[in-house]
């Protein structure tokens, strides 16, 4: 079921397409680290299917007192048309949900938060592309 929202910009979508290539089953993941430690690796996981498409997690992690802390981590929906939609963002200081995916194909959106996450996603994917040489 298509959600009528503005998708991620094409430039961000191209980076996401590269990051998730081959990850189509729940639990499949990869770590992208092309910088020999100069920048944080990017961790990508296929969380699994929803009524709207596949849900993915993209994250950087740092260690604090022996625990891995996502900063940031974004959940992103790749809908049936291949478009990318931000669902939520987690930073070390909190979590914000832009899109609530419900049962039976229903969805609710916080439009202001959604626009904010689209802007963040655009910048973050541009940085990842540059840092990881994608």
pLDDT of 114 over the 60 cut: yes
3-state helix, strand, coil in the chain (%, to 5): 25, 40, 30
pTM of the model as a whole:
0.91
Look up the domain containing 16 and give its range.
Answer: 10-132
Residue 5 lies in a domain: no
Residue 30 lies in a domain: yes
Residue 2 lies in a domain: no
Quick one: pLDDT band at residue 2, thresholds 50, 70, 90?
A: low
Nearby residues of 36 by Cβ (< 8 Å), 6 or more positions away = none
Residue 114 lies in a domain: yes
For residues 129 and 94, give the distance between their C-alpha atoms in angstroms, rounded to a whole number: 25
Q: Give the chain's domain count.
A: 1
pLDDT of 28 over the 80 cut: yes
Quick one: pLDDT band at residue 37, thresholds 50, 70, 90?
A: confident
Q: How far is CA 38 from the centre of its chain?
A: 22
What pLDDT, on the 0 to 100 scale, is given for residue 3? 66
Over residues 51-84, the pLDDT tens digits come to 999 999 999 998 889 988 889 999 999 999 999 9
For residues 75 and 57, give the distance between their C-alpha atoms in angstroms, rounded to a whole number: 5
Residue 72 lies in a domain: yes
Residue 106 lies in a domain: yes
Q: Count of CB atoms within 10 A of residue 90's CB?
A: 18
- Kindly list the distances between the CA atom of residue 107 and the CA atoms of 31, 49, 84, 115, 119, in Å, as whole numbers in the listed order: 30, 15, 15, 16, 21
């Amino acid at each position: 079921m298509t959600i009528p929202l503005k998708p991620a910009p094409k430039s961000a979508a191209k980076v996401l397409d590269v990051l998730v290539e081959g990850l189509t089953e729940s639990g499949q993941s990869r770590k992208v680290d092309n910088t020999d430690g100069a920048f944080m690796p990017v961790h990508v996981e296929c969380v699994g299917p929803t009524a709207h498409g596949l849900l993915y997690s993209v994250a950087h992690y740092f260690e604090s007192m022996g625990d891995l802390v996502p900063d940031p981590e974004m959940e992103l929906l790749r809908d049936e048309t291949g478009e990318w939609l931000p669902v939520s963002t987690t930073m070390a200081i909190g979590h914000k949900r832009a899109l609530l995916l419900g049962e039976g194909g229903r969805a609710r959106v916080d439009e202001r938060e959604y626009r904010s996450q689209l802007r963040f996603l655009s910048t973050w994917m541009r940085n990842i592309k540059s840092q990881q040489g994608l």
